[in-house]
């Protein structure tokens, strides 16, 4: 019922200015640049509307359901794009304006000068995402037009596809090894559609991260697949709304309003 609604949480695939909820130059949905998503939704619902990057929301969902006792967690989505959600001290960290965790547009070490959708070259997303794997497979006459096709090929025993996914994992691992040195997470969760390919992707990530990062950091580090699947975003959006509703100021206001 509308009267029972305390807020609406929305995730979008791209950078979001946290204070306004507006997407900011999202590479895969340029028509949404600067669009006031909260205002549009509030035309029909008179409640707070919270908008965030989809990976941040997935990080909240995975943390809440699968790792509630973990204080330091890095959630990495590998799909059409690549991004990360950073949980530190038990809280999601968005950075100064909401741009934290934009892992896909970090320069990948030893990467070729492949043009990325953001306009730069050599970005992690340009060489290790689903479309990048599809392109690599096409060069050896293997057709994989979607992430689902890649997953099906790997699960079906296609060795070149499995090797391509594992190499993507290694490339992602090179960037994550730096993140481990900077953030010292207890858990790295790998999610997104390509994790459904099985161990190939995560094995590549583990190979590089455990080999490249210092023992002090890797001694407690687990690198695991996401467990919440497609529900991560829904759970995370609900978590974001609940956290917003239960801030000290809002609880005090609700108590004051109920007493008056």
From CA 162, how far away is CA 152, in angstroms rounded? 10
From CA 152, how far away is CA 149, in angstroms rounded? 5
CATH class of the domain whose range is 55-227? alpha beta
Residue 75's closest CA among 48, 57, 95, 49?
57
Q: Is the pTM of this model over 0.85?
A: yes
Residues 23/29, Cβ–Cβ less than 8 Å: yes
Q: Residue 26's pLDDT is what?
A: 86
User: H/E element holding 191?
Assistant: strand 187-191
pLDDT per residue of the chain (260 residues) written in tens, 0 to 9: 667 899 999 999 889 998 999 999 887 788 899 999 999 999 999 999 999 999 999 999 999 999 999 999 999 999 999 999 999 999 999 999 999 999 999 999 888 889 998 889 999 999 999 999 999 999 999 999 999 999 999 999 999 999 999 999 999 999 999 999 999 999 999 999 999 998 999 999 999 999 999 999 999 999 999 998 888 999 999 999 999 988 877 777 778 777 77
111 Cβ contact partners less than 8 Å away, ≥ 6 residues apart: 122, 123, 124, 126, 127, 171
From CA 91, how far away is CA 58, in angstroms rounded? 13
Maximum C-alpha span of the chain: 71
From CA 85, how far away is CA 179, in angstroms rounded? 12
Alpha helix (H) residue ranges in 68-194: 124-128, 130-138, 147-155, 159-183
Kindly list the domain boundaries of the chain, sorted by start residue.
Answer: 55-227
Q: Residue 133's pLDDT is what?
A: 98
CA 200 to chain centre: 19
């Amino acid at each position: 019922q509308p009267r029972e609604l305390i807020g609406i949480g929305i995730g979008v695939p791209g950078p979001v200015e946290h204070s306004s909820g507006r997407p900011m130059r999202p590479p895969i949905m340029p028509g949404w640049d600067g669009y006031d998503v909260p205002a549009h939704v509030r035309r029909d619902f008179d409640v707070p509307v919270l908008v965030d990057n989809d990976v941040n929301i997935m990080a909240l969902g995975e943390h809440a359901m699968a790792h509630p006792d973990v204080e330091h967690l890095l959630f990495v989505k590998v799909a059409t794009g690549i991004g990360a959600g950073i949980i530190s001290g038990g809280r999601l960290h968005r950075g100064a304006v909401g741009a934290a965790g934009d892992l896909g547009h970090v320069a990948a070490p030893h990467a070729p000068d492949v043009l990325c959708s953001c306009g730069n070259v050599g970005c992690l997303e340009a060489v290790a995402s689903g479309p990048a794997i599809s392109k690599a497979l096409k060069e050896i006459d293997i057709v994989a037009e979607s992430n689902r096709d890649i997953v099906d090929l790997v699960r079906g025993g296609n060795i070149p596809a499995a090797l391509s996914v594992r190499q993507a994992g290694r490339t992602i691992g090179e960037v994550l090894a730096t993140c481990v040195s900077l953030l010292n997470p207890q858990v790295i969760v790998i999610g997104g559609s390509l994790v459904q390919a099985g161990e190939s992707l995560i094995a590549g990530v583990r190979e590089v991260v455990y080999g490249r990062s210092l023992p002090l950091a890797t001694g407690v580090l687990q690198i695991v697949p996401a467990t919440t699947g497609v529900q991560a975003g829904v759970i995370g959006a609900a978590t974001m709304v609940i956290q917003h509703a239960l801030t000290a100021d809002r609880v005090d206001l609700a108590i004051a309003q109920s007493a008056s």
